Every structure is written in structure tokens, then in C-alpha cells.
Amino acid sequence: MCHKNELLSYFKNSSVKLEKQKSKNNATKNLQIILNELGFKDELQFDKYGADGGYGNLTQQAVASFLAKNKLNGDGSFIYKSTAELILRRHDTLDELQVLALDLETNKVENIYCYKSKQKVKIQALQTLLNELGYGNILQWNKYKNDGDYGNLTTKAVAQFAKDNKIDVDGKILTKKLAQLIVDKLAAFYGKHWKQHSLTEIVNDKSNPLVDFTASNFVGIRVVADKDFVPALKRINEFAKKSDV
């Protein structure tokens, strides 16, 4: 979150631009960190240089790739506040996109994303993605936001998304085909490595000290925790079971 705030704070007004230059600054460093998380690490050569704060050819290349992916013009040599806001908007929905993608990979979509599902956090993710795809009016987003209730409004939004993609369903279940369409449409805005910080990638990295821990008595997104913290998580889960929460 601090990277986002620090990047936005650079733009005092809409006329200020962050541009290619020899000197280094924190705004560029934060931009590089966020672009890497959005999947543009190849363009940045992030594994080699990291976030060095210098707006040079590599950062220009990453920004240009982001602009192209998001159907915007520009050579990447500078960004205004409006572009920074779009970059942060994509970053804000990245976690939700990774959640749905993971459920697709583990073949759990149709058991989770369905009418009156109790998986509130997962449904919130779906609602966020549907809003990003332009179905906020059907969801009555301004009133309810992502409330986690797979009720009539979410059913209508899923059904309309299906209809717009020439698929005939009633919207009460998000099918694997629909989930894949949502992921594909939104992933098009990101870089090649947009999954690099997802739960699947972290857990499969054998050099990483983090492990996947699923608390059986909690509803929501699986968590990744340091190995040393797992015993504490288990005790919390045992307490939750005893307390029936």
C-alpha cells in the first residue's frame, strides 16, 4: 500500500508528469515495484536490476508495454497522474484476479462461485472483477460494492456477462468456461508474469520459506505464512473450532 501512496503523492496535480531522466527518485522506484508486480519484470529486467529508481530505457519499455496492453498510446517515456491511477487500479484488482485463476487451476470454481455461496471473500473477488469488466450497474456497485453475497444481483451480472459472450446460462453458477473468460479478459491488461506473486507461484517456489496454510474452519482466501508461524495458525484454528466461529 505504501508504494501506491508514495507514487500518487508525486503527482500534485494533473499536469505533473513522471518522466525519463538520469537522476533517481522514489516515485520511479515505486512505479518499478508496482509494474513488476503487474507482470512486467522482463521489460524491467527486474531480476537483474530490481527497483533502482532510475527512469531509463527499461522503465520506459515497461511503461510502454503497460500502455499497449491497456490500449493507450505512448512510448513510455513519461506518465501523468491519469496513467498512474490506471496502473494502481490494475494493481488493486490483481489479488482478486489471482484468486479466481487459482480456483480455476485447482478445479474448484463451480463449487465455490454459486448462488448463496458461503465463500464470502471469494464472491467479493468475483464481484470486483465483474465490476472491472463493466457490470457495476447490474451489481448496484455504488450501493452494495463487493458485499460477498452471491444473490440476485450477482446472478444477473454473471448471466449478462455470459449473454454478452454468447453463452446461455442462468447465472446461478459461475461455470469454468465463464471463469476462464473473466480471467482471460482481465489478464490481457497485465504483463506476462502477472501470476508471479500469486499463492500458487509462492508455494511452488521451493527456495521460499513460506508455506500454504488452509485453516479449515475459516472461510475465504488461503493464506501464505512463514513456516515458523504455522503452529500459531494451527492453534488459532483449533480455538476457532472449539468456539464455533
Q: What's residue 8's pLDDT?
A: 92
Q: What's residue 240's pLDDT?
A: 66
214: buried, middle or exposed (CB in 10 Å: 19+, 13-18, 0-12)? exposed
Higher-pLDDT residue of 203 and 156 is 156
The predicted-structure confidence for 162-174, as pLDDT tens digits, reads as follows 999 999 999 999 9
pLDDT at residue 39 is higher than 60? yes
What's the full length of the chain, in residues?
245
Q: Which CATH class is domain 2-91?
A: mainly alpha
Say which range, 32-36, 115-119, 230-234, has the weakest mean pLDDT: 230-234
Q: How far apart are CA 171 and CA 16, in angstroms?
A: 45
Question: pLDDT band at 86, cuts 50/70/90?
Answer: very high
Q: How far apart are CA 146 and CA 68, in angstroms?
A: 29
Question: pLDDT band at 233, cuts 50/70/90?
Answer: low
Please report, for the chain, the start and end positions of each structural domain, with discontinuous segments joined by +: 2-91, 93-187, 209-243
Q: How far apart are CA 91 and CA 213, in angstroms?
A: 24
